[in-house]
Amino acid sequence: MSGELEGKTALVTGGGTGIGRAAALTLASLGAAVTVAGRTETTLKETVGLIEELGGAGRYVIADVHDEEAVREAVTFAAQGGRLDCAVNSAGVDGGNDSHPLIEYPVATVDLMLATNVRGMFLSMKYELELMAAAGQGSIVNISSGAGLTGVPGYAGYVASKHAEIGLTKSAALDYAGRNVRVNAVCPGLVNTPLIADMITENPALHEELVASHPLGRIAEPQEVADAVVWLCSDKSSYVTGIALPVDGGYTAR
pLDDT at 239 exceeding the cut of 60 = yes
* Strand ranges for 94-156 from DSSP E: 138-143
Domain region containing 74: 9-192+221-245
Q: Is the pLDDT of residue 184 over 70?
A: yes
Position 23 in a domain = yes
Q: Which helix (H) or strand (E) holds 88?
A: strand 86-89
Q: Is residue 204 part of a domain?
A: no
Give percent of the chain above pLDDT 70.
99
CATH, residue 48 = 3.40.50.720
Q: How far apart are CA 165 and CA 167, in angstroms?
A: 5
Q: What are phi and psi of 212, to 5 degrees?
A: -65, -25
* Rounded percentage of the chain residues whose pLDDT exceeds 90: 85
Is a pLDDT exceeding 90 seen at residue 201? no
Please report the pLDDT score of residue 2 as a whole number.
57
pLDDT surpasses 90 at 202: no
Closest CA to 128 of 137, 119, 116, 115: 137
Instruction: Considering the candidates 105, 158, 176, 251, report the single residue annotated as catalytic.
Output: 158
For residue 247, pLDDT over 60 is answered with: yes
pTM for the model: 0.95
Say which residue, 1 or 167, is predicted with more confidence.
Answer: 167
What is the reported pLDDT for 81?
84
The predicted model gives 45-61 an average pLDDT of: 97
As for how many domains the chain has, the answer is 1
Residue 3 located in a structural domain: no
Burial 224-246, CB ≥16 within 10 A → b, else e: bbbebbbbbbbeebeeebbbbbb
- Give me the pLDDT at residue 195, please: 72
d(CA 71, CA 39): 11
Does residue 76 form part of some domain? yes
| 252 found inside a domain | no
Q: Does some domain include residue 183? A: yes
Whether 155 is catalytic is no
Q: Is 131 part of a structural domain of the chain?
A: yes
**109 in a structural domain:** yes
